[in-house]
């Protein structure tokens, strides 16, 4: 399956060795973004991947493309428009000090100012089998919202699989309020086959109601079933984070038309607190694209998500061999 | 004399060791800008300095203020507005390979969206004696243009000295064309006492005409005299770069009401090709603020300009002792 | 309240990535010292701060002043004397390997050779409301001892608040023995309003006796009350470190004339094992200077002390927002 | 024209800041090789490029492929064999101190142990128009020699263009002596269309004789004409380095069936003394593949060769825009 | 006691800050190897040490010798042969992500191609009292196997102590199978006085049988006693790693002719997961060479092994003072 | 010939990439000193060398010794005393900006407080053939002056060769004045065999008079002859620096009892402006110790001096092969 993503390439600037911005003049530059992260991981798993986005036609655009290629992603559908790449600074936390992310101007980026007509969507869709769309496109600007919706509709019509990730961040939507956002999500969902989301997305954003007469765990399953039925969703997946003392655990869940599975929880040990979910999503998409069983898929995706936490930066670089090593020999901490 | 500047604080991101962007993930972060550069240099000369600008109220704004303080500039007139700092990436050239600067979105920066009413200009002007305004404010946005003109007018009315630098960059003004820019400069100049500029600024931007019947050197002097008379300018200063084989030389010139002096040319050896003129301007302002003779002033400023080329980054950090050392013992290349 | 400190600026030289000195040629240079640390933290909390010290009149002195300004501390009371800055090398420990500090020549530093007459104490005291004096001044040299005592006496006479930190290090006093030191501390304490210290300082250094008929916890409270009464101390504060398995916890305590409060213990997770106490002291001084309740003060100071452990270097750079975040949302480890 | 190369990917390990190996523990790792260099430059010029080679199936092989992709080269014809990548350490010279290259074991590398049957040559040749073969393949091992000759023969038979670079290094051939090498080159040349070489290659390696009755410059032209006629070579190109005082200049030459042109000499200013010729070759191949005039081609290639000297590492990363900038505005040393 | 080792010097190349190879171009270069590690640690304990090996006569060989000297090891018995140093890349793991070691071509290294006649074994043995031989020599090449056996035999005949470490790595011996290896070990053991090994070495490699009628702990003791008797071994030592929840512990054991002792387990906290055993071995050899009691020896060695885990790189740099500090004041985590 | 030196080990701290102290927190640490520099270079030439000095018994002393060993110098005559190592910060100049050296407290260093009785001079002298003493010992402290004089006298009496370098720095002697210094030098010189110095040392320091009736060049030769006769000096050597336009040249001179030779001038291209003379001195001592002709010696020494300027740091690391390469193939700038 040829997998593509529609999304923004951002610059991530990170001080070394857990330093705060005032403490250093040295920064590490990475090119990142949900689409980049998931596609790169899939490329490392051996999948053919391609990113649809726009970049400025300048030295930063060239450097961004070089980075995307290095990650194993095809750059032939990256166009040129505008003169700005959105960026964020990540001051890495340690222990009780949180990682602090500071965004710089995303809305005026090349991606932010590009609408549907700024891409050759039809030609692009001919060359792929599944398109991943991140929910942030619905929040960022009117242009990105329109582009995402047109793309999803076209893909759906052409019989391509559409994978959508809620990724709803209230902080990006303070201006509009939840009701505008709900409307956009409701426009998008009918085109979708595979959806990543959480309990909160269904209740708080879409306004679905829980059946309080049921057990808590059954409430969740019931509302997901209603959601999947309403929008004809093939698979619904997501993660749950749990704490126990000062340890934290990751569990993934996955629904298809008939079944619901949950992975065995795995302890999270963080090298980098950002970009955790993308490793999980890449794992689910790998299993989906290769028709693995639900259990195989969710266990692999959860192990991959936990490994993503141990890698510097947002971009998971794991291979199948590495994920399987963790699943099969979790106590071997030195390979030679 | 308490000297202040109105201008933008930008981030400069520079790869190490002459590397190009694709070759490294390491960047050096400096906070810079014409105002920052000149004030920092004056502070290193012992002058009390203060910057008038706006920054975002986030971690980047805090880091920028820390950097400004480190350079010796008071940060008490730096306000909070917006959520973005303009930035540029500088790939350092070597030999025939030019230094390549790539700007990222300046117009939406905290400075770019701040107009006159976003500063407390009256209170600010009470605490200073001279205000330096960079011509880029006239080009950047309507807001910065308005702020610069109101500030200059108020300063002039209060009897404060106004120093203005043409700093005209055609590339920043492609949208407007020269005629709009000429108009803005003509509004600004009547408030000004000390002006930095070039031959080309007077002829190409202001449209002044040369007297072709004169010698080339007299043509320049004549047009400067006309310019100074028209706008009641007290001092006019600038630099000339000359080549001889593969060597390059810097000479400064300086006019007052009666005299015109030019410094002995000094060879330029570049460690960093950006920010050269700001060292010269700081030298002129030091002589001006301490009422040195024209010759003393222009020789000091030229030596300082040449030293600025030997320092990494835009910000000249020279002290009086260092400039005098170069003027008095130019062949001593090791001090202990 | 304008808060000042009297103390040494030192150079701290630290190898990167937990390397030992033989393993690297790269060192990180920070300017530090108890006074620097506390004032910088208070400046980040919004307080006006100023450091009284001397530095050499050379490039190192200039660099030290630039660093102090960057931290938000006024450098106008830093004078020039001598030609040496004390330094220490910090090899960062990991797990069971301790952090190893190696001092280089502190006694001949600019600060070490400066006595009371080398500062303009009267003018300085006019511009401040509270002076922080670190007990190390009493141990370092005869000059620093004299300067500290004269300063405290003058401040007390002028009605300024005097804050004193025992900071008694037997290793710095091997030559003199405890009895000389006890004498010096007894000279200092009558001038003091706020004192930082420990159980051990009162018993081992000052020779106060515990009432063995009481409970252990009452013994401590009783001896503190005697101490405060004897020297007319307004507030007495300090920290207690406790272990539980391989976890370690920090608790702060604070006495005023009538009450005694202790903070809830907070787990310590160390990025840097040096300079922990200064974050706590800054928190106490903030609450004191703004007349917070004892409980508010001690909880804030303890949270700040724990955060100081998660920051590279000795200097705490926390803001009120960051401390409050930890107090209110301790499990949120990623902010965007 | 789809251009491919057959050649080794090596690791280059370089100490920073002109340090020698004993002076540092830090090294920079680049993946390089004549084929990598030329293809990467062509990819930056917009050409579709592909590398034929083998790498170990381990983490180093994965990292090498990621690097090749980042440079814009397709990695789909890079196979897996063996467990070793050849490497060299480059201690960068300065002034009179030469750059010192130390090779580590090239003959046992994945490339060194791969013969013709270890590649799918027929399928590969279907997808390209021109194949570049570096002469080092003839010297390295028997396997690489055989692979190069079979590849050239097959390409020639299929009507693909074959470009060959003498790149004769006596030091790599001490064991065999020149006569064996001459024989190999004579086997290769009949398959070739475009050849890079020097005067010395024709006389010392191939044993061709100069006509001493002619002028020196005519001698060279005559022997090249004989060489081109003998092997039916379409184009012959190379560079000449000249000194004048302590300046050094690069000139390129280019022959086709009828004409001989030489570029205007350009001064060489070295940031990195290795990999100079590959920039020139990439320029020639660009002109060749786009049917430029000889003069256009040789001037572009020479300018590109000079730029390659100003870039860290062996791999030229210049774009058409950058080369044209140097050709059109050689004195502009700062672009913004 | 003058202690020497026979073994390979390798290059270890490590990316910084837990980065994977694709994520960085920066590598740290260390010269390492079992012999280097143990001798360096003994030199830091004050023992005179010397390494017997061969290196290429080039810049890498010079750099390797400089590094060995820096570690305190005499380089006068390091000869010149061949042109290659074996290397490995270590991608440092974090949490559940294992450290990944990738070897590059060891068999063609200067050490790998050197047999007994390439060393002056007789002269060398005159100047030492104990020779340490690592079992990897028996696996690497025929040359190293022969050299190790001749060296051991000669040393034994001259009455020098021979210390041998099984260090059996099945992965290095896939070609030969266990039976060839068993034969080599059986040739070596009769010359040995002190042996490092594990339960598995005795049963799986040497094929010794456990007495299943005994308790598990007695089985081990019994088989060791049989082994020591068979080969006249003076001391047998090794380590056991145990897990308890997510904590891991190290325990050392040591047998002499009559007694068997085991150290109290110490928690392992890893900065670097490679080279752990060499610190333990150095501790045992120190106690042996100074005739400490078994208990003193094994406790010191275990503490040293745990410290070795907290040091970057393979080479333990601990001093007696540091080990004693851990044994006596394990909770003091900051020394000044 | 076994060559030793008596002198201080200092720490040199250097910011990277020509940065000034305020611009970076990164410093490079080297251990250096005239004795270290010369001995290291001789060790790289294959001579057995040994340093006589004292260091503190702490982590810095250990690191310094490791560094000295790495340079090839025996550390067995380095004793322990005091607790301080002198240091200097070197801000590297560029073009017209001079390199700026800032010293920190040398007089209280372990070396500075050590007198003759703090070394075992007799035992030490038994193991060497030539002792190099740097003139700075005469200026530094009374202790170092006494130690140097006693050492020279003892060496002379035992028939060992004494090599002395004037190295007179007026700045280190401001307190004493020249006359005290002249006296010390006059005490030292009668023990000396080989002396490094300049014209100025003989006239300004020793007060010798020129014969103005002679040509300038003859004046110098005459005064050297008088000097050598007076103190029975075997060889006198030094360097002359000349400028021509903006180029600078180094020439060495060398006298023995009968002859006077001068080397052909070589252009100086500076990577590091400090420590130039030590490379020259090492070259002279090599020729002296191996009884080369004067011409061979002075040409080798001058070439070596020029190479020393191209190496980062004070310590020349050149080998015979490198120096000969420069002498024989000065235009080959890339060796592979």
**Cβ of residue D21 closer than 8 Å to a chain A Cβ:** no
Asked whether the beta carbons of B262 and B238 are under 8 A apart, the reply is no
Residues in chain A: 336
**Cβ of residue E19 closer than 8 Å to a chain A Cβ:** yes
Reported confidence tier of residue A175, pLDDT bands at 50, 70, 90: low
Other C-beta atoms closer than 10 Å to the C-beta of F263 total: 24
Superfamily (CATH H level) for E3-9+32-78+115-328:
Ribokinase (3.40.1190.20)
Given a contact as 3+ CB pairs under 8 Å, which chains touch B? Answer: A, C, D, E, F
Helices (DSSP H) in chain B: which residue ranges?
A: 34-44, 59-70, 121-126, 136-140, 142-157, 178-188, 199-200, 216-231, 276-289, 294-308, 320-328
Residue B82 scores a pLDDT above 70: yes
Q: How far is CA A50 from the centre of its chain?
A: 15
**pLDDT score recorded for residue D246:** 78
A18, A96, A273: residue with CB nearest C312: A18
Mutate to test the interface with C, among E24, E312, E329, E330 (most CBs of C within 10 A): E312
Other C-beta atoms closer than 10 Å to the C-beta of C151 total: 24
Map out the domains of chain E as residue ranges: 3-9+32-78+115-328
**D243-296 pLDDT tens trace:** 887 789 999 999 999 999 999 999 999 999 987 789 999 999 999 999 999 999
Contact A332 E98 (CB under 8 A): yes
**pLDDT score recorded for residue D276:** 73
Q: Determine the average pLDDT of the residues in F316-336.
A: 94
**Cβ of residue C71 closer than 8 Å to a chain B Cβ:** yes
In angstroms, the Cα distances linking C142 to C110, C180, E31 are 13, 12, 49
Residue E255 scores a pLDDT above 70: yes
Mutate to test the interface with C, among B26, B68, B70 (most CBs of C within 10 A): B70
**Cβ of residue E86 closer than 8 Å to a chain F Cβ:** no
Beta strands C87-91; C99-104: pairing state: antiparallel
The nearest alpha carbon in chain C to B74 belongs to: C69
Contact F20 B313 (CB under 8 A): no
**Cβ of residue D89 closer than 8 Å to a chain E Cβ:** yes
Contact F69 E67 (CB under 8 A): no
**pLDDT score recorded for residue C117:** 98
Asked whether the beta carbons of B3 and B49 are under 8 A apart, the reply is yes
Given a contact as 3+ CB pairs under 8 Å, which chains touch D? Answer: A, B, C, E, F
Contact E171 A336 (CB under 8 A): yes
Asked whether the beta carbons of D315 and D30 are under 8 A apart, the reply is yes
Given a contact as 3+ CB pairs under 8 Å, which chains touch F? Answer: A, B, C, D, E
Residue B99 with chain D: CB contacts under 8 Å? 333-335
Residue E100 with chain A: CB contacts under 8 Å? 335
**Cβ of residue F201 closer than 8 Å to a chain C Cβ:** no
Superfamily (CATH H level) for A34-59+72-81+116-328:
Ribokinase (3.40.1190.20)
Reported confidence tier of residue E173, pLDDT bands at 50, 70, 90: low
Residue F144 scores a pLDDT above 80: yes
The nearest alpha carbon in chain D to E70 belongs to: D22
**D210-247 pLDDT tens trace:** 988 999 889 999 999 999 999 999 999 999 998 887 78
Nearest to F74 by CA among F13, F26, F2, F20: F2
**pLDDT score recorded for residue F187:** 98
C227 vs C189: CA distance, rounded Å: 10
* Shortest Cα distance, chain B CAs vs residue F139, angstroms: 16
Domain F34-54+68-75+113-328 has CATH 3.40.1190.20: yes
A26 token code pair: 């040295």
The nearest alpha carbon in chain E to F48 belongs to: E76
**B219-233 pLDDT tens trace:** 999 999 999 999 999
D7 vs F254: CA distance, rounded Å: 54
D30 Cβ neighbours under 8 A, 6+ residues apart? D11, D12, D14, D67, D313, D314, D315, E25
Contact E20 A311 (CB under 8 A): yes
Residue B133 scores a pLDDT above 90: yes
B310 vs B308: CA distance, rounded Å: 5
Residue E10 with chain D: CB contacts under 8 Å? none
Q: Determine the average pLDDT of the residues in E277-305.
A: 97
Contact F105 C103 (CB under 8 A): no
Residue E243 scores a pLDDT above 90: no
Q: Determine the average pLDDT of the residues in E25-53.
A: 98
**pLDDT score recorded for residue C173:** 66
F94, F169, F243: residue with CB nearest B310: F94
**pLDDT score recorded for residue A45:** 98
For a pLDDT cut of 90, what percent of chain A falls above it? 90
Residue E324 scores a pLDDT above 80: yes
**Cβ of residue E101 closer than 8 Å to a chain A Cβ:** yes
Asked whether the beta carbons of C313 and C272 are under 8 A apart, the reply is yes
Residue E122 scores a pLDDT above 90: yes
**Cβ of residue C92 closer than 8 Å to a chain A Cβ:** no
**E150-167 pLDDT tens trace:** 999 999 999 999 999 999
C266, C310, C313: residue with CB nearest A97: C310
For a pLDDT cut of 70, what percent of chain A falls above it? 98
Q: For chains A and D, what is the number of CB pairs under 8 angstroms?
A: 16
The overall average pLDDT reported for chain A is 95
Nearest to D326 by CA among D244, D247, D269: D269
F36 vs D100: CA distance, rounded Å: 25
**pLDDT score recorded for residue B174:** 67
Asked whether the beta carbons of C309 and C276 are under 8 A apart, the reply is yes
**pLDDT score recorded for residue A105:** 80
Residues of chain C with pLDDT under 70: 172-176
Contact C21 F59 (CB under 8 A): yes
**Cβ of residue A71 closer than 8 Å to a chain D Cβ:** yes
Residue F245 scores a pLDDT above 80: no
For C1-114, CATH number? 3.40.1190.20
The nearest alpha carbon in chain B to E22 belongs to: B25
Residue B177 scores a pLDDT above 80: no
**A7-51 pLDDT tens trace:** 999 999 999 999 999 999 999 999 999 999 999 999 999 999 999
**Cβ of residue B48 closer than 8 Å to a chain F Cβ:** no
Contact C70 B69 (CB under 8 A): yes
**Cβ of residue B22 closer than 8 Å to a chain E Cβ:** no
Reported confidence tier of residue F105, pLDDT bands at 50, 70, 90: confident
In angstroms, the Cα distances linking B258 to B195, B221, B229, C2, E203 are 16, 11, 11, 50, 102
Contact D269 B23 (CB under 8 A): no
C270 vs C248: CA distance, rounded Å: 10
* Shortest Cα distance, chain B CAs vs residue F274, angstroms: 8
**Cβ of residue C69 closer than 8 Å to a chain B Cβ:** yes
Residue E201 scores a pLDDT above 70: yes
* Shortest Cα distance, chain F CAs vs residue E90, angstroms: 24
Contact D99 F322 (CB under 8 A): no
- The residues pairing with D248 across neighbouring beta strands, listed in sequence order, are D243
Beta strands C10-14; E10-14: pairing state: unpaired
For D3-328, CATH number? 3.40.1190.20
A98, A243, A270: residue with CB nearest C325: A98
Given a contact as 3+ CB pairs under 8 Å, which chains touch A? Answer: B, C, D, E, F
Reported confidence tier of residue D159, pLDDT bands at 50, 70, 90: very high
**pLDDT score recorded for residue B155:** 98
Residue C24 with chain D: CB contacts under 8 Å? 25
* Shortest Cα distance, chain C CAs vs residue B201, angstroms: 37
E300 vs E305: CA distance, rounded Å: 9
Q: Determine the average pLDDT of the residues in F210-222.
A: 90
**B275-298 pLDDT tens trace:** 779 999 999 999 999 999 999 999
**pLDDT score recorded for residue D253:** 98
Asked whether the beta carbons of D134 and D165 are under 8 A apart, the reply is yes
For a pLDDT cut of 90, what percent of chain E falls above it? 90
A139 vs D305: CA distance, rounded Å: 48
The nearest alpha carbon in chain F to B271 belongs to: F94
**F13-52 pLDDT tens trace:** 999 999 999 999 999 999 999 999 999 999 999 999 999 9
Residue F62 with chain E: CB contacts under 8 Å? 319
SS3 D130: strand
Residue B23 with chain E: CB contacts under 8 Å? 25
**pLDDT score recorded for residue C245:** 77
Q: Computed from CA positions of residues F143, F145, F149, F155, in that sequence, does the dihedral angle turn out positive or negative?
A: positive
């Amino acid at each position: 399956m040829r997998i593509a993503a529609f999304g923004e390439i951002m610059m991530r600037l990170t001080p070394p060795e857990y330093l705060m911005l005032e403490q250093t003049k040295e920064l590490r530059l990475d090119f990142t973004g949900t689409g980049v992260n998931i596609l790169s991981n899939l490329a490392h798993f051996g999948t053919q991947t391609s990113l649809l986005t726009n970049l400025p036609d300048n030295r930063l655009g060239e450097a961004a493309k070089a980075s995307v290629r290095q990650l194993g992603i095809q750059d032939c559908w990256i166009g040129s428009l505008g003169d700005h790449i959105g960026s964020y600074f990540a001051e890495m936390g340690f222990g009780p000090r949180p990682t602090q992310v500071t965004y710089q101007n995303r809305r005026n980026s090349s991606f932010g100012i590009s609408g549907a007509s700024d891409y050759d969507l039809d030609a692009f869709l001919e060359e792929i089998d599944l398109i991943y769309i991140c929910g942030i496109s619905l929040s960022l600007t009117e242009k990105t919202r329109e582009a995402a919706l047109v793309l999803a509709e076209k893909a759906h019509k052409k019989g391509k699989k559409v994978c959508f990730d809620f990724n709803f961040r209230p902080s990006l939507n303070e201006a509009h309020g939840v009701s505008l956002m709900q409307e956009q999500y409701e426009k998008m969902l009918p085109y979708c086959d595979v959806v990543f989301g959480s309990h909160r997305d269904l209740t708080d954003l879409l306004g679905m109601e829980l059946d309080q007469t049921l057990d808590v765990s059954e409430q969740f399953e019931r509302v997901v079933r209603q959601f999947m039925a309403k929008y004809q969703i093939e698979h619904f997946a997501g993660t749950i984070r749990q704490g126990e003392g000062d340890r934290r655990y990751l569990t993934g869940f996955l629904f298809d038309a008939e079944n619901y599975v949950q992975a065995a929880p795995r302890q999270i040990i963080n090298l980098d607190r950002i970009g955790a979910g993308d490793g999980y999503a890449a794992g689910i998409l790998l299993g989906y694209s290769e028709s693995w069983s639900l259990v195989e898929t969710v266990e692999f995706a959860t192990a991959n998500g936990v490994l993503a936490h141990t890698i510097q930066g947002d971009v998971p670089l794991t291979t199948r061999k590495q994920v399987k090593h963790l699943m099969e020999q979790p106590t071997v901490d030195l390979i030679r």
